[in-house]
Structure 1
Amino acid sequence: MSSSNARDINLTPWAFAKMEKLRLLEFYVPDFRGNRGNKVHVLDEGFEFVFNELKYLHWYGFPLKSLQTNFQTKNLAILEMPNSNVEELWSDFPPPVNLKRIDLKRSKQLTSIPNCSGLKSLKEFNLRNCSKLKRLPELPNNLKTLGIAGCKSLVEIPSSFKYLNKLESLELNDCESLESIPDLRGWKSLKELHGCECYKLKMLPEVPNSIESLQLSGTLIEEFPPSFEDLHSLKSLDLFDCSMLKSLPSSICKSKSLESLSVGNCSKIDKLPDNIGTLESLKSIDARGTAIREIPPSISCLKSLEYLNLSGCKGEDGVGLILPPLSGLDNLKELNLSDCRIKELPLSISCLKRLESLNLSGCKGEDGLGLILPPLSGLDNLRKLRLRNCRIKEILPSISCLKRLESLDLSGCKGEDGVVNCTSLEELPSPSFHSSNNVVADFTNCLKLNRNSLNYFLEGIVLQMQRLPSIVERHRKDYGRRRHLASICYPENDIPEWFSFQSTGSFIDVKLPQHCFNYNFICLALSVVVTISDPDHQCDHQEDYYHKHSRVRYEHIVKSKDGDQYLNGIDHLFDLFQMPCCGPDCIKSNHVIIGFGYCFDRELCDDEFSFRFYVKDLNESNIEHIKVIKCGVHLMFGPNLETSGDDDEFSSGDFSP
């Protein structure tokens, strides 16, 4: 029975009088995230009927403070009461001995559970987010899964805990009052131990060599126990934000099955193990925000490595982070060196044939010279390049060969002359996209951009969409109107002339040409011109990202075929572009923004629709000093349009730049 949309139901003693054979009873609420309460109520005296045959009970939001003596059922196998009001599970009577599963998650009033060691059939016990529970009951040793994540008041674990040798998964995440975990070496079936955000946990327990996943981010552990040397099955080790951890033991390199290693924000760790290159299965290393000074040369032996994050590793003063040759990383797909102190990238970076994303944002290089970029001609698969706030001597020679580049962020770059916001950038590479990933080209305040180069860049985007309409269609299915397939921002006063429909202000009405949808229509391009009245605007919330950044948003109003109007996205606005609204990266003059790839429900559309554009911060407040002063819409069609004598207007190419 789903009670989410029903009227309030009061269960009286006679409600189940004719149901002595009842085996399944369910009061279900489908959307617990919407804080919907159960509308089924029970009298304070509870039930007078005994469910002799009941095997499965699911009661979301069970209203009573405990199960009562007259609720006994010897056949009950599954008891699920999420979000219940239970304070004590049962009292003054023994529990149903055939229980196999108990689920009391998010029962925030639960404070006590009696001895459960006699429940020999119990396999699963879910107590997640029972935030007032301070102690666990004695538990049966046949238990396989125990969920106690989010039990913020839990301070003690029973002595019987060490006998749970059949347990396969233990979740302790967010048990913020728990200070210790007993020896777990006897748990020969344990595969996963998750203890993230256990803020008082200082000692890692002894664990069995069967463990595959250790997630301990946000704890206060300082060192590893002796059993750590024998973890041959370990696949994932998450130590993110373990601020007291001083080092990784060299014995970690015995874990030949290790695939993922995270020591991000472990600010006291100053090196990776010298023999880390022996971890032949390692796919991911996250060492951001550490004190690492030098990457060991053996890292080049990690043939399986796909992700390497060294963001914020400053290295040693005067020397910076020392990188070894990277040529052996044959499968590396993402390399993040943002905010590192690096003088120059090794030439071997051009050997990373499978690299798809390279982030060098904030890399200043050596004082007076800037970061030296080697030729990137070997990066045949590079799609995203982040050079935000870099000091780079030369940009174009390094990036002009990147034929698959989809996203290039040069905002805030400093060239040889030291002027911010890429004022030295003149030429652009050819755009290219080969998947449904979006192209984002942000040329904010790049005042020296060659207009012919910019027009060629725009033309390249349009032509590729016309030639590859399947990419547009796949993008529409994957993302709908949540984001555009390609977006661009650059300094200019006018929307491109080839935009079919243009209007002054932030609102535009469009009346479509007759029979236009009979042709190979692909999508719409939208454009605005934004102006700023206060280029030196100082934000009142300098440290607040949500107030410092704005987004140009829009709503789409369609006149449907039955003559009515409806708003495409009445619940929220759609994003056209995001940009800072104060600070050094804010626009200093009029800028054009174009979003390509907008699709709408054309089967409902007659021949009229409208767009209204806004500028808001990320908290949905209006931005007063940045306004939309012009807007435009352009219809994009595919090639080889079939035309007839009556439709010459479509054969002239009026709908292409």
Structure 2
Amino acid sequence: MFGSVTHVWKVQEAFDKHGERFKDSLDKVQRWKYALKKAAGLSGFDSRVINEVPPAITFFFFFFFFFFHLGTGKIEGISLDMSKIRDIDLQPFALSRMHNLRFLKLYSWEESNKVHVSQGLKSIFTELRYLHWEGCPLKLLQSNIQPEKLVELAMPGSKVENLWSGVQQLANLKKIDLTRSKQLTSLPDLSKAQNLETLKLSHCESLLAIPDCSDLKSLTHLDLSYCLKLRMLPQLPHNLQKLESRYTPIEELPSSIEVLSRLVYLNLRHCSKLKCLPTSVCKWKSLEELNLMDCSRLDKFPEDIGTLNSLKFLGTTGTVIRELPSSITCLENLKYLCFGRIMGQDTIGCILPLLSHNLTVLLLEDCDITKVPDNLFSCLSSLERLSLIGNNFESLPSSIINLSNLDTLEISNCKRLKVLPELPLIYIDASNCSSLEGLSCFAFPESNALLNGIFLGVALNNCLKLDRSLLECIMTDALWKIQRLIDKDVETLPEPGAKLFYPGNEIPKWFDIQCTGSVIHAELQPDWFNHNFFCFAFCAVVAFEDHPDAFCDIGIRCECFLESKDGNDSSVVSEEFYLGDVDFNQSTHVFVGLCPTLYPYESLYYDNEVVFKFSLCENYGPTEDVKVEKCGVRLMYR
């Protein structure tokens, strides 16, 4: 089998041992034999063929196959999942007989290499078309690979410092992926790679420069993200469609940027030294996504940005841009606009033009908006998510109620906000609005807003100026509206459920089962678990006075302990609601949660004695610093 009597005997000995061990399943042993013969292969070798072979035999085979360089010229392909083997150190001539090797794939879901070449590799592959070697230990490929026939070269996480020197004939090469090759310092001349379509170099942290790419007429995707020493982008080809250069220290874009008429996607996020965009970007009629977030020196847009007719996504959060050009109103296909200034910077308020009626997401965060224009919402009929976090307005226009598709409103940390108009019962985050005094009952949500599957709910934590009794009435009204949703059509309630969070120290009377402390022992009606039962709703009054930090990631957990009628079976159902990073300001708060997944298994017929236990989590672990003072439960029926 391996070209050596000794090796055959050792493999046969291994089979004999496994045959004795599995004497009642000799067909399995035969399948192992067949798999190894296929793997040793007369036409190729694929580790997936031997997925039924025990690890001991698998490693035994690889050891002899590679260590004693037993490869033959008949082998054309090797595919090895390195996560299934131990580390192997190849002998220099281990693959030297594989003159016809066309396909070599050494991969691992662990993103680590287990095939080492501590003494180097003397093999020369002249027929190789596909090379994928995760974490390849070779520093230079030139002595081992003749790249003329290479179609794809993928070596993510490799140790390579350079591919080869000089100009190589690369007419067949279509893809190069050297992602996370942190020792790569330069690339060779790729001018002969006229069919190269994809070049991925992200996280090549030592890469200093890239040769001119303007003649690579087939190149459509270039990824240079996290190339932390790359100060200049190369000249670019006119057919480029996707350019990623996140977290690179570039100061300007190359002159060839003007010819990128087919560019669809440009991501320059966190290019903190980039000072401006050339006016030529307005010629990119195919551009759909432009991400300039955290380009902290960027202070303006080209005036004619409205000519980008195909633009769907525009992100500028974390820049020093104060004003959106008036031409932005011409971007009729724009669906996502993210605009915001650097936190803590002195501002005099941003200037907002009218926006596209096709917008579905509008994020205007930390823009120092002192007044929301009355007509801002008149043209935003498609808006689904609106974020005005960290601004300085005192009120919102009442016309916001007309946004029939709105499912998420984020207005947290608006410290001057005093009053909210009537709002639909969607997901509303108004936490840390410390001046908020006026609040109305929530309108019944529009059905089209519910279709997006977003949590229904309201977060008013640390809105301490709100009248407690009025707040309890408003929240009770919201709970009855949620009940109406269930009564109307259970399918309309979003699967994530609903949650309410607000200052207070009393369980709403809507919860008919209540108790002091964190545990409820309830005796329910004998027929409580029937086909109309929907789920449990629960409530907890939480005290944060003893918590050492004011800012933490808190979650509420409710566990429901049930037993079957005959006492032979039991079940525990539980649900956790995480509130995110919240500043609780040492005040008691009320939390209400309702989730369709808080539902017992249908296979059990339950007793009417049920125990509910409430606890709190911090950063996804238990905490003793936050206490549940009171709790309540309500059974929800259709």
TM-score under structure 1 length normalisation: 0.80
Please name the residue that 2:173 is paired with.
143
Please name the residue that 2:467 is paired with.
448
Q: Structure 2: 5+ residue runs without aligned partners?
A: 1-7, 15-32
SS at match of 1:143: coil
Question: Aligned-pair distance for 1:439?
Answer: 1.2
1:305-454 equivalences under 5 Å are: 305-312=334-341, 319-326=348-355, 329-350=356-377, 351-365=379-393, 370=394, 373=397, 375-392=399-416, 394-397=418-421, 400=422, 402-403=423-424, 405-415=425-435, 422=436, 424-432=437-445, 434-435=450-451, 436-446=453-463, 447-449=466-468, 450=470, 451-454=472-475
Structure 2 distance, partners of 1:157, 1:37, is 41
Please name the residue that 1:493 is paired with.
505
Structure 1 distance, partners of 2:56, 2:633, is 46
Question: Aligned-pair distance for 1:276?
Answer: 0.3
SS at match of 1:275: helix
Select 1:129's aligned residue among 142, 149, 157: 157
Structure in which a larger fraction of residues adopt helix: 2
1:207-356 equivalences under 5 Å are: 207-312=236-341, 319-326=348-355, 329-350=356-377, 351-356=379-384
Sort the Cα spacing of 1:21 and 1:364 in 2 relative to 1 into closer, same or farther, 3 A.
closer
8 Å CA contact retained: 2:501, 2:589: no
Structure 1 distance, partners of 2:56, 2:275, is 47
Asked if 1:81 corresponds to 2:106, the answer is yes
8 Å CA contact retained: 1:314, 1:321: no
Please name the residue that 1:563 is paired with.
568
Please name the residue that 1:6 is paired with.
none
8 Å CA contact retained: 1:444, 1:587: no
SS at match of 1:57: strand
8 Å CA contact retained: 1:507, 1:613: yes
Q: Return the letter of the residue paired with 2:172.
A: N
Sort the Cα spacing of 1:580 and 1:242 in 2 relative to 1 into closer, same or farther, 3 A.
closer
Question: Aligned-pair distance for 1:617?
Answer: 1.5
SS at match of 2:365: coil
8 Å CA contact retained: 2:360, 2:385: yes
Question: Aligned-pair distance for 1:133?
Answer: 2.3
SS at match of 2:621: coil
SS at match of 2:634: strand
Deviations 1:186-234 (A, max 9, x none): 1111110011111111111011110001100100111122211110000
Question: Aligned-pair distance for 1:176?
Answer: 0.7
Select 2:191's aligned residue among 144, 157, 162: 162
Structure 1 distance, partners of 2:524, 2:255, is 74
8 Å CA contact retained: 2:326, 2:353: yes
8 Å CA contact retained: 1:313, 1:321: no
Q: Return the letter of the residue paired with 1:636.
A: M
Question: Aligned-pair distance for 1:524?
Answer: 2.1
Structure 2 distance, partners of 1:207, 1:489, is 52
Sort the Cα spacing of 1:320 and 1:18 in 2 relative to 1 into closer, same or farther, 3 A.
closer
1:574-593 equivalences under 5 Å are: 574-578=575-579, 583=583, 585-586=584-585, 588-593=587-592
Question: Aligned-pair distance for 1:525?
Answer: 1.3
Structure 1 distance, partners of 2:292, 2:455, is 31
8 Å CA contact retained: 1:65, 1:86: yes
8 Å CA contact retained: 1:344, 1:373: no
Question: Aligned-pair distance for 1:611?
Answer: 3.9
Question: Aligned-pair distance for 1:456?
Answer: 1.4
Deviations 1:436-474 (A, max 9, x none): 2111211224441514333211100111122221234x7
Sort the Cα spacing of 1:125 and 1:296 in 2 relative to 1 into closer, same or farther, 3 A.
same
Sort the Cα spacing of 1:192 and 1:76 in 2 relative to 1 into closer, same or farther, 3 A.
same
Q: Return the letter of the residue paired with 1:632.
A: G
Q: Return the letter of the residue paired with 1:600.
A: Y
Sort the Cα spacing of 1:13 and 1:30 in 2 relative to 1 into closer, same or farther, 3 A.
closer
Structure 2 distance, partners of 1:92, 1:117, is 10
SS at match of 2:606: strand
Structure 2 distance, partners of 1:37, 1:485, is 50
Q: Return the letter of the residue paired with 1:223.
A: E
Q: Structure 1: 5+ residue runs without aligned partners?
A: 1-9, 416-421, 476-483, 639-657
Please name the residue that 1:190 is paired with.
219
Please name the residue that 1:612 is paired with.
613
Sort the Cα spacing of 1:358 and 1:93 in 2 relative to 1 into closer, same or farther, 3 A.
closer
Percent of aligned positions that are identical: 30
Q: Return the letter of the residue paired with 1:270.
A: D
Structure 2 distance, partners of 1:136, 1:509, is 70
Structure 2 distance, partners of 1:280, 1:395, is 38
8 Å CA contact retained: 1:234, 1:257: yes
Query: Which sits farther off after the overlay, 281-290 or 426-435?
Result: 426-435
Sort the Cα spacing of 1:377 and 1:529 in 2 relative to 1 into closer, same or farther, 3 A.
closer
Question: CA RMSD of the aligned region, Å?
Answer: 3.3
Structure 1 distance, partners of 2:374, 2:340, is 20
SS at match of 1:586: coil
Q: Return the letter of the residue paired with 2:450.
A: H
Please name the residue that 1:522 is paired with.
534
Sort the Cα spacing of 1:580 and 1:298 in 2 relative to 1 into closer, same or farther, 3 A.
closer
Structure 2 distance, partners of 1:38, 1:259, is 53
Question: Aligned-pair distance for 1:361?
Answer: 1.3
Deviations 1:305-354 (A, max 9, x none): 0111112268995632122233xx02111111111112222333122111
8 Å CA contact retained: 1:12, 1:43: no
Q: Return the letter of the residue paired with 1:23.
A: S
8 Å CA contact retained: 2:92, 2:117: no
8 Å CA contact retained: 2:184, 2:204: yes
What count of residue pairs does the alignment treat as equivalent?
580
Question: Aligned-pair distance for 1:30?
Answer: 13
8 Å CA contact retained: 2:195, 2:216: yes
Structure 2 distance, partners of 1:30, 1:64, is 18
Deviations 1:149-177 (A, max 9, x none): 11111112123x23222111111110011
Question: Aligned-pair distance for 1:11?
Answer: 12
8 Å CA contact retained: 1:373, 1:395: no
Sort the Cα spacing of 1:143 and 1:526 in 2 relative to 1 into closer, same or farther, 3 A.
same
Deviations 1:353-400 (A, max 9, x none): 1111111111024xxxx4664642442222211111214455333xx1
Sort the Cα spacing of 1:23 and 1:348 in 2 relative to 1 into closer, same or farther, 3 A.
farther
8 Å CA contact retained: 2:407, 2:454: no
Please name the residue that 2:28 is paired with.
none
Query: Which sits farther off after the overlay, 485-494 or 453-462?
Result: 485-494
Query: Which sits farther off after the overlay, 406-415 or 272-281?
Result: 406-415
User: Would you identify which runs of 4 or more consecutive aligned residues in structure 1 move more than 6 Å?
Assistant: 13-17, 36-39
Structure 1 distance, partners of 2:42, 2:525, is 65
Query: Which sits farther off after the overlay, 598-607 or 338-347?
Result: 598-607
Q: Return the letter of the residue paired with 2:220.
A: K
8 Å CA contact retained: 2:188, 2:211: no
Q: Return the letter of the residue paired with 1:529.
A: V
Please name the residue that 1:466 is paired with.
487
8 Å CA contact retained: 1:86, 1:110: no
Question: Aligned-pair distance for 1:24?
Answer: 4.5
SS at match of 1:261: strand
Please name the residue that 1:628 is paired with.
628
SS at match of 1:411: coil
Question: Aligned-pair distance for 1:115?
Answer: 3.9
SS at match of 1:466: helix
Please name the residue that 1:4 is paired with.
none
Sort the Cα spacing of 1:379 and 1:592 in 2 relative to 1 into closer, same or farther, 3 A.
closer
Sort the Cα spacing of 1:144 and 1:556 in 2 relative to 1 into closer, same or farther, 3 A.
farther
Structure 2 distance, partners of 1:611, 1:133, is 59
Q: Return the letter of the residue paired with 2:621.
A: E
